[in-house]
């Protein structure tokens, strides 16, 4: 796990003069007449006789978001180099957001690969955002490289905010570090190639994490799935020599105010099955278990942060491959709980494994159900690669969408139109797994899942098909590959439920 060693420090003249850091990180804000120094940079500015912004302007700084400019300190402070990172424009009140701090911290961490020790003043603006951004921006996945390249920044001293107590700051550092580590758990799983990450090996990794964190753990193999009637998971996984699994991982504190069920799609590789996908981009389908990775990391995080909630993750795992034993378009599957589904497209497999897991989760009578999955290409068409589509019980859907945006992960509330249910009618079974047209595919998938949610259960579905995997260049605290979305959103939702019910 590539998390830098993070420590709190004073933001004082003495601290800067004695620092063993090689680089001092300061933030710049894009102003009308050039860059302005962000809050927390006052001590560094004093070391430059109040002319640090002027010097940065001379070497080309403008304060634009994620802009990186370096200059030598010439002995004015203990660090040899100042790295100025742009935060972008401030709001009408002259303030910057937590997400601006998070992205700037990530950009700085990426730029400082190979550096042993850094002192950052961005944490004086928002400590939690700076910790998360730094840890996630420093993340690299090099397990399969013979030459891993420059190591991530090793140590980061964080300037303490002016407000709050030392105890408060330590608690924030601990929580933010745990959140970042959990995102990295998800990223590592997503970035592991499918020849090494398949249902059984995912289950072994999950078991190890459960044991390390004192969690309940149960796994159902293909024999148990057949015996108990999990027709959706079995149907999808039957074409692979690597047979499916269903995991249950639970955190149960002594006094829990609410019970939360988490469900995450775990298709460890998705070829589309008989309805095979085009070859171009199929390698990205190694990320089709991002929902599973996210909920596994989230239940581990619940234990680390000791939420006063019972949190239970249900994770269906399968490979969707074509073979002589694969399920076919035209098959009818008997799902867990008794409903039947006609398969019209074997590439609409995620909803089939999720339906089984959702019914199983509902049997435990949770107060809330949170499900997340790389479910539809229609999500990307509708909302792009950085905004999740969020559906479910209206009030809870809106609550989760607002929290997702506040965390910086992004999300937008979407409807579940009742008229789409008729389009899922089957000539043979209770319902079909897709509609007969291409319109509203993200919403139709949500309507399908709603059919398996226990009556009266407050629930939400988070479609992360685009946001879960970055196929472009790195930005902010997000590198190429698995992003770990929506771990931070789920963490914030759990915290909100713990506080407000």
Residue 295 lies in a domain: yes
Q: Is the pLDDT of residue 222 over 90?
A: yes
Whole-angstrom distance, CA of residue 254 vs CA of residue 308: 8
In terms of residue numbers, what domain contains 87?
5-163
Q: Is the pLDDT of residue 265 over 80?
A: yes
Residue 156 lies in a domain: yes
Whole-angstrom distance, CA of residue 306 vs CA of residue 60: 47
Indicate which CATH number applies to the domain containing 410: 3.40.630.10
Q: 238 and 105 in one domain? A: no
Give 343-363 as a DSSP string: -S-TT--HHHHHHHHHHHHHT
pLDDT in tens, 114-169: 999 999 999 999 999 999 999 999 999 999 999 888 899 999 999 999 999 999 99
Mean pLDDT of 360-382: 98
- Give phi and psi for 62, each to the nearest 5: -130, -15
Q: 325 and 421 in one domain? A: yes
Q: 250 and 147 in one domain? A: no
Residue 20 lies in a domain: yes
pLDDT in tens, 40-87: 999 999 999 999 999 999 999 999 999 999 999 999 999 999 999 999
Residue 372 lies in a domain: yes
pLDDT at 4: 93
Catalytic residue among 76, 205, 228, 277: 277
Q: 278 and 213 in one domain? A: yes
Q: 233 and 203 in one domain? A: yes
**Residue whose C-alpha is closest to residue 464's, from 377, 394, 392, 356:** 377
pLDDT at 305: 97
Whole-angstrom distance, CA of residue 300 vs CA of residue 132: 17
438 band by pLDDT with thresholds 50, 70 and 90: confident
Whole-angstrom distance, CA of residue 259 vs CA of residue 304: 17
In three-state secondary structure terms, 243 is coil
Q: Is the peptide bond before 351 cis (omega within 30 degrees of 0)?
A: no
Mean pLDDT of 469-496: 97
Residue 95 exposed, middle or buried by CB count within 10 Å (0-12, 13-18, 19+): exposed
Q: 445 and 337 in one domain? A: yes
Residue 172 lies in a domain: no
17 band by pLDDT with thresholds 50, 70 and 90: confident
277 is known as an active-site residue: yes
Residue 171 lies in a domain: no
**Residue whose C-alpha is closest to residue 421's, from 410, 407, 432, 413:** 432
Domain boundary among 109, 133, 163: 163
Catalytic residue among 351, 397, 450, 488: 351
Contact of 191 with 482, CB cutoff 8 Å:
yes
pLDDT at 61: 94
Q: 206 and 89 in one domain? A: no
Angle between helix 166-191 and helix 487-500 axes, rounded to 10 deg: 140
Residue 338 exposed, middle or buried by CB count within 10 Å (0-12, 13-18, 19+): exposed
351 is known as an active-site residue: yes
pLDDT at 167: 96
Residue 324 exposed, middle or buried by CB count within 10 Å (0-12, 13-18, 19+): exposed
Mean pLDDT of 217-245: 98
Whole-angstrom distance, CA of residue 289 vs CA of residue 293: 6
- Give phi and psi for 382, each to the nearest 5: -80, -40
Lowest average pLDDT, out of 15-24, 240-249, 455-464, goes to 15-24
Burial 242-266 (b: 16+ CB within 10 A, else e): bbbbbbbbbbeeeebebbbbbbbbb
User: Look-up: residue for tokens 């998971």?
Assistant: 233
pLDDT at 1: 62
CA distance readout (Å), 309 to 185, 401, 491: 21, 21, 12
223 band by pLDDT with thresholds 50, 70 and 90: very high
pLDDT at 149: 85
In eight-state DSSP terms, residue 478 is B
Q: Are strands 216-220 and 258-264 parallel, antiparallel or unpaired?
A: unpaired
Number of H helices, E strands in the chain: 16, 21
The total number of structural domains that make up the chain: 2
**Residue whose C-alpha is closest to residue 139's, from 480, 488, 399, 467:** 480
pLDDT at 285: 97
In eight-state DSSP terms, residue 63 is -
């Amino acid at each position: 796990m590539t998390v830098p060693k993070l420590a709190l420090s004073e933001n004082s003249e003495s601290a800067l003069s004695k620092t063993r850091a090689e680089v001092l990180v300061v933030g710049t804000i894009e102003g009308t007449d050039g860059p302005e120094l962000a809050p927390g940079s006052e001590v560094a500015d004093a070391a430059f006789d109040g002319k640090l912004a002027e010097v940065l302007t001379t070497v080309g700084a403008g304060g634009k978001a994620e802009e990186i400019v370096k200059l030598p300190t010439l002995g004015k402070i203990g660090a040899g180099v100042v790295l100025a990172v742009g935060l972008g424009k401030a709001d009408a009140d002259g303030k910057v957001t937590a997400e601006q701090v998070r992205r700037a911290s990530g950009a700085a961490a990426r730029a400082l690969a190979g550096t042993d020790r850094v002192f950052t003043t961005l944490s004086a603006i928002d400590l939690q955002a700076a910790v998360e951004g730094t840890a996630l921006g420093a993340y690299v996945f090099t397990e399969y490289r013979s030459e891993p390249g420059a190591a991530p920044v090793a140590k980061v001293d964080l300037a303490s905010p002016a407000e709050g107590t030392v105890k408060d700051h330590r608690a924030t550092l601990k929580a933010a570090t745990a959140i970042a580590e959990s995102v990295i758990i998800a990223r590592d799983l997503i970035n592991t190639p499918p020849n090494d990450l398949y249902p059984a090996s995912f289950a072994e990794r999950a078991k190890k994490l459960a044991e390390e964190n004192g969690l309940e753990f149960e796994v159902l193999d293909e024999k148990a799935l057949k015996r108990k009637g999990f027709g959706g998971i079995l149907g999808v996984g039957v074409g692979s020599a690597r047979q499916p699994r269903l995991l249950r991982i639970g955190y149960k504190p002594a006094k829990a105010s609410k019970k939360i069920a988490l469900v995450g799609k775990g298709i460890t590789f998705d070829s589309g099955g008989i309805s095979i996908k085009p070859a171009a981009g199929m390698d990205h389908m190694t990320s089709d278990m991002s929902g599973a990775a996210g909920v596994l990391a989230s239940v581990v995080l619940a234990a680390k942060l000791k939420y006063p909630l019972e949190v239970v993750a249900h994770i269906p795992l399968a490979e969707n491959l074509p073979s002589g034993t694969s399920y076919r378009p035209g098959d009818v599957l008997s799902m867990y709980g008794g409903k039947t589904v006609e398969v019209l497209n074997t590439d609409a497999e995620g909803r089939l494994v999720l339906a089984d897991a959702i019914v199983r989760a509902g049997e435990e009578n949770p107060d809330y159900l949170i499900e997340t999955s790389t479910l539809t290409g229609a999500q990307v068409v509708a909302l792009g690669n950085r905004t999740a589509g969020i559906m479910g019980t209206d009030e809870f859907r809106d609550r989760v969408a607002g929290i997702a945006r506040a965390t910086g992960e992004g999300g937008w509330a979407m409807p579940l139109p009742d008229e789409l249910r008729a389009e899922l009618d089957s000539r043979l079974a209770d319902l079909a797994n897709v509609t007969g047209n291409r319109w509203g595919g993200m919403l139709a998938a949500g309507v399908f899942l709603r059919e398996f949610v226990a009556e009266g259960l407050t629930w939400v579905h988070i479609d992360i098909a685009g946001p879960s995997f970055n196929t472009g260049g790195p930005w902010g605290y997000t590198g190429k590959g698995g992003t770990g979305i929506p771990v931070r959103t789920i963490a914030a939702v759990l915290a909100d439920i713990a506080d407000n019910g």
